[in-house]
Structure 1
């Protein structure tokens, strides 16, 4: 189903909080036992709906998500993941196809937790923590003064970590450094600061945002002087060699990436070939919680980190908290601070932040309940 949030993405020249996505994609799976599972999916939802409802193409590989799941036992999550992957094989191994598989996988984990009366982290096999440090995930403001004002506001709300991304960042090296320096001056030395470079532009007039590797290497040195914790997603997602080249010039600064990748193999390449320190699977894009668990096991073996990308509603926030609970070493939960109230109030129970941390839900499944009255109010498809 598709929900309309009513606004487009913010103008990067304005000192404004991001509104959020224009449309939300929600997936609901119902069982004959009366148990339902939910997921939100960060994809173009009109495309996603067509993947759910597509008519049969006449053979395996050209089928719909609905055809893959109807009549199946929802507790056989691994078999159903493999079945969905094969039913959508010719068009779904990456992109929107994999994203809808991811959403279905999350919903199946939600169903399993509800059926067994356990939170998802228990089904994963480990709950190392009951709270996760949150970072405010927001846009770069266009001036140093606006950056300082934004930092002051997040500190007032209790955040101890802030990530600025996209917006005006990535076109003017001197301005980039000035904006980050202003944030550090306002935050002081004890607040974690992260930077999300963004690998493409957000202005329709110029969607490219190119920057040579040598300029990123120059920026890395400045970010280390400003004690930035990580630089995120600043190259094309498949440029593993580029990430490795920049990594050679880091000492304290971590490189983070992966929100637009799918499948375990891509994350293994990012860790080994790209030498990325922090993998960032979006559970609604990478293959769901099933693949997220594989990535969590990978980072444990390689002694690097995993911080799920989670910039959507409390459904994705809850799923990411369960993966954070399973991680042997957890750094952060990405906390969506966008102004779109629908993103933050889709569920009956909000997931609160207290003293800079967010609790892992303890209820069965995801541990949050979708407010279906809101769904019907904003539903367009």
Structure 2
């Protein structure tokens, strides 16, 4: 079997409202799907992390840079392909967009391997340690409005997410330390005492400001403090982990095993959050997972994107061994964006229906059982939402 074509599909639509996080506001939803075709009619699907114009740029990398390197190669030679592409791109970017582009291709190759063998991805990875995973719902995105108004909105939204049946919830911050603490207090009021909530700063703070917010989060009994400082500031991560009682999490913007090795050896994380659609795909994710577990650092995958990304992560979470093990081991969770996302809810021929599962199954989501990723996108849907670029 040989690879005959690799196609990027960049999909986009106008969102019903403007949302934001600490770095920007956005009014369009974008997703970047990768399709790998073969001479035997087998097709695999993957996804590249990156919104808006980043997706458009990654499309060029996938089709104009990576595709010529791998045409004619056997798609089952996943590791050979991964290292060929990485080595040829090393001089031009060991992280960032070239690795995001490689991620989508690699995921599609694993999808093909599952379809060829007739096995679901989690079987290829060694089997399922669990047949379902708990799911947390994130929301409470930033809006360009007064903080007091936003706090009231956050309180109501947090209560709604809890009522949907999710096992935990996560909010965004980014207005500055003091107003952000007000928002966090509102979320705690919304979910009540004893319900797990997390805070995602998207690297909004200096280390000193992160300490201010982190101490407030300790008082609110928040579960983790995500990306408090810039991903490059690994010493800041170490200082925060040593000085705060709250779990420090991060890693969605950390690429490849070498960057992860540096972060983990510096002992900066309580919880690692690798993004499979960004760090190099499933092949590299497995190496990063091994590094995390070698450092006894539990993993909760970062999940953002379409149903392809969600399905991929369900398999990865199913195949993740318990750390450290025992009768009642620590368990990973599926991250789920509760804001409007047609590319997650309506993309597939058979929808995953995550929210319906959460409500019916006490906050848990089952693992796909079909070959490969176990899902197939609707081509008419893709055609309708594909943009030029």
Q: What displacement does 1:84 show?
A: 1.3
Partner residue, 1:180 = 184
SS of equivalent residue, structure 1 residue 10: strand
The CA distance in 2 between the partners of 1:228 and 1:41, in whole Å, is 31
Aligned residue number for residue 84 of structure 1: 85
Match of 1:219 in 2: 213
**1:46 match:** 56
Q: 1:66 to 1:212 in 2, by over 3 A?
A: closer
Distance 1:147 1:65 in 2: 43
Structure 1: state its 5+ residue gaps: 55-63, 200-208
CA shift at 1:309, angstroms? 1.1
Structure with the higher fraction of residues in strand conformation: 2
* SS of 1:94 mapped into structure 2: coil
8 Å contact from structure 1 (residues 5, 24) kept in 2: no
Distance change (3 Å), C-alpha of 1:283 and 1:9: farther
TM-score where L is the length of structure 2: 0.86
CA distance in 2, matches of 1:216, 1:344: 35
Change over 3 Å in CA distance of 1:53–1:172 after alignment to 2: closer
Using the TM superposition, give the Cα deviation of residue 221 of structure 1 relative to its aligned residue in structure 2, in angstroms: 1.5
Partner of 1:31: 38
Residues 151-191 of structure 1: per-residue CA shift (max 9 Å, x gap): 121122111210101xxx23332222221122112212332
1:307-346 mapped onto 2 (5 Å cutoff): 307-329=300-322, 330-346=331-347
CA contact (8 A) 1:220 1:249 kept: no
CA distance in 1, matches of 2:46, 2:348: 11
> Distance between the aligned counterparts of 1:327 and 1:53, measured in 2?
32
How far apart, in 1, do the equivalents of 2:343 and 2:206 lie? Answer: 38
Instruction: Give the 5 Å matches for 1:1-381.
Output: 1-7=9-15, 10-12=18-20, 22-43=29-50, 44-54=54-64, 64-140=65-141, 142=147, 143-165=150-172, 169-199=173-203, 209=204, 211-251=205-245, 253-329=246-322, 330-351=331-352, 352=354, 353-354=357-358, 355-381=362-388
Q: CA deviation at 1:144?
A: 2.4
Match of 2:328 in 1: none
Instruction: For 1:129 and 1:37, locate their aligned partners in 2 and report how far apart those are by CA, in whole Å.
Output: 25
Deviation at 1:39, TM superposition (A): 1.3
Please report how far the alpha carbon of residue 373 of structure 1 lies from its aligned counterpart in structure 2 after TM superposition. Answer: 0.8
For structure 2, list consecutive stretches of 5 or more residues without a partner in the other structure.
Answer: 1-8, 323-330
Given the superposition, is the C-alpha separation of residues 8 and 187 from structure 1 closer, same or farther in structure 2, using an over 3 Å criterion? closer
* Alpha-carbon separation, structure 2, partners of 1:20 and 1:356: 29
Q: Shift of the alpha carbon at 1:9?
A: 7.8
Deviation at 1:195, TM superposition (A): 0.3
Contact 2:307 2:343 in 1 (8 A): no
The superposition leaves residues 137-161 of structure 1 with CA deviations (integer Å, 9 ceiling, x where unpaired) of 2234543221111012112211121
* Structure 2 partner of 1:58: none
Q: By how many angstroms is 1:11 displaced?
A: 4.6
Deviation string, structure 1 residues 85-124 (Cα, Å, up to 9, x no partner): 1232332422111111111110000000111011111111
How many residue pairs get aligned? The number is 354
Q: Rate the CA distance shift 1:286–1:144 in 2: closer, same or farther, 3 A.
A: same
The root-mean-square deviation of aligned C-alpha atoms, in Å, is 2.0
- Matched residue, 2:6: none
- Name 2:5's counterpart in structure 1: none
SS of the aligned residue for 1:118 comes to: coil
Q: Compare the two structures and name the one with the higher helix fraction.
A: 2
Counterpart-to-counterpart distance in 1, 2:161 and 2:176: 25
Separation in structure 2 between the aligned mates of residue 52 and residue 292 of structure 1, nearest angstrom: 19
